[in-house]
Chain A
Amino acid sequence: MSETVAPHPERAALADLIVELTQAAGEDLLESSSCDDMDELALRPGGLFAVITRLREAGFNLLLDVGGTDHHPLSPRFEISYILTAIPLGDQRDPRRFAGVRRFRLRVFPDDRDPIVPTLSDLWPSANWAEREIFDLFGVRFEGHPEMRRLLNPDDWKGHPLRKDYPLRGLERRFVPGGHTGTVPPVRES
């Protein structure tokens, strides 16, 4: 009963692009899949730069977001997700051109012990803070980043709060009446 339907031209172009991307990633490719919301590639950090440069050439010019996820106790533990959108430039005042505008996601899985990912702040200035935030909250370092220091937490903060082994109430109690600021056992959460 199956009828062969010719793929949508944009769909076909995207399929070609994904083939190119998998070649660019080479051995660093982990998985290529088409999700409910957008297509995605899973990579090791080594292939990130080649793949994302190719994506940018193909029109994915807006780096919407760089986010981190901690899959502890699974391995690979850290996931850095890059969400890209293709925004055509020029006289683009007609919103119909943006119907179903293309999106793409890269998921990068660095090493568990020493998580390092190449920075994208040279390509996109917007990646600068997003990467600093991930360093702050997850402890994943970005190689080549011009200013790899904490963003949301104070510079003298200990630990990386969004890691799954960081307790919800923090590692140490800060403002204790009477002045005792020693380390206390983490509060157990149900």
Chain B
Amino acid sequence: MTLDLTAFENNPDLTLSPGDDRDTLILSMGPQHPSTHGVLRVMLKLDGETVISAEPEIGFLHTGIEKQAENLLWQQAVTVVDRADYLAPLSNSLCYVLAAERLLGIDEQIPQRARVLRVMFAELTRIASHLVWLGTHCLDLGAQSIFFYAFDMRERILSIMEFVTGARMHQSWFRIGGLAIDVPKGFLEKMDDFIDRFPERLRDMRAIVERNVIIVDRLVGIGKISQQEAVDWGLTGPPLRATGIAYDVRRAYPYSGYESYDFDVPTQTGGDCYARFVVRLDEMYQAWRIVKQARERFPGGPVVIDDRKIVPPPKTEIQHSMEALIHHFKLVSSGFNVPEGHIYQSVEGPRGEMGMYVTSAGGNKPWRVRWRPSSFYHTQALKRLAPGNLIADLVAIIGSMDPVFGDVDR
């Protein structure tokens, strides 16, 4: 990305005019500023330390994931969609596989065990993502110890992920038709250990931060947004729920059996940074409740559908059956075709409504995978949220919107 400032020359909000006094300053914050959570540059016009206007600049992490997905087989594309929102890889792939399964018409046939494991791991991902947010957001505000509590718990989740899928970050474990592999022996003991331990640690973390006078002072009343504006700016997820709107895709358009789980949708009415803070803390507890319920039901049976045209046969069968070998070869070399059509599928990711508008032209590769990145819209809303605040508060606002730049730039 060229650092070309001429793009702002025509923008009256970001240029100095003769009437400005000596305290007025144009400042480029980022893209390597530690509190921008990745690679965000914000062009700021400042009066002393107060932000007059702000223009976020994105695209530093643009890797063409949508283009890459168009050039991979349907099943292969799971690996690249995983890498967009890198703090919630399983939520991304869940959205993609659900869309593909609906286009294939096999969404009703997914086995119960796969559904329950998908819900369990999507919620574990949500907890892990919120823990990163909690640690880094508080670090931005000057609180250091909470970071270690949060990352300790996240490490436990990642080690469960590694135990089950072999990868800590980009698991690519959800596949079209079910899961890549079943969980190994010893999984339930690890899960039980986590389920037992987490509520107490969450209580500890809440006790450290929730009523902490510095955190409350830094967050209450900062970055306030009304319901109407939140909707106009396209906010979803915790920032929308912090204005008192309980819109949650898991409730509005249930997928993977979410309608059968008992959980609350936490809301706040403040609409400010503190409201978003509390909503995410509450969400971690609700996610834990869902994980617990998924652990309690945990049905047996297969984790993939019984359709050799979509899911390759097990290795033992390939050694004995010619037909299984042919199926395996066909799936590896040319994949499967998906009927022509288009569909919008969304899931409730940790950051908000994560949607995909998938178009199939009938071939063995997706014709187009349009991402609905919630972080993208949340970052855009900084234009509205930043003016009138101090630079230090801008850091708090960025943290409270929790953008992930893999998701913004794709």
Contacts and interface: CB of A to CB of B under 8 A. Distances in A.
Given A89-B231, A155-B4, A81 B372 contact: no
Interface string A64-95: 11011111000000000101010111111111
A69 B245 contact: no
B353 A69 contact: no
Contact of B370 (A61, A81, A94, A156): A81
B357 interface: yes
Given A69-B359, A69-B370, A155-B4, A126 B253 contact: no
A128 to B, nearest CB: 7
Interface stretch (B64-72, B141-149, B313-321): B64-72
Chain A binding surface, main DSSP class:
loop
Contacts of B274: none
A125 B59 contact: no
A16 interface: no
A168 interface: yes
A88 B245 CA distance: 8
Interface stretch (B126-134, B178-186, B376-384): B376-384
Contacts of A89: 227-228, 231, 245
Interface of A: 35-38, 61-65, 67-71, 81, 83, 85, 87-101, 103, 105, 124-126, 128-130, 137, 147, 149-156, 161-162, 168, 189
A65 B372 contact: yes
Chain B binding surface, main DSSP class:
mixed
Given A87-B247, A92-B244, A70 B233 contact: no
A124 B248 CA distance: 21
In order of increasing CB-CB distance, the 6 nearest A-B pairs are A126-B234, A67-B370, A95-B265, A152-B59, A95-B246, A65-B372
Contacts of B344: 37-38, 83, 103, 105
B2 interface: yes
A139 to B, nearest CB: 14
Interface of B: 1-2, 4, 7, 11, 58-59, 62, 64, 66-68, 71, 102, 227-228, 231-234, 236, 240, 244-248, 251-253, 264-265, 267, 269, 341-346, 353, 355, 357, 359, 361, 367-368, 370, 372, 376-377, 380-381, 383-384, 409-410
Contacts of B409: 152
Contact of A36 (B67, B343, B353, B359): B343
Contacts of B7: 149, 155
Most chain A Cβ neighbours within 10 Å, of B4, B62, B234: B234
A95 B372 contact: no
Contacts of A88: 245
B401 to A, nearest CB: 14
Contacts of A35: 342-343
Contacts of A69: 342, 357, 359, 367-368, 370
B370 A65 contact: yes
15 contacts: A36-B343, A38-B344, A62-B231, A65-B372, A69-B367, A85-B247, A87-B247, A90-B227, A92-B247, A93-B246, A93-B267, A101-B247, A126-B234, A153-B62, A162-B66
B1 A154 contact: yes
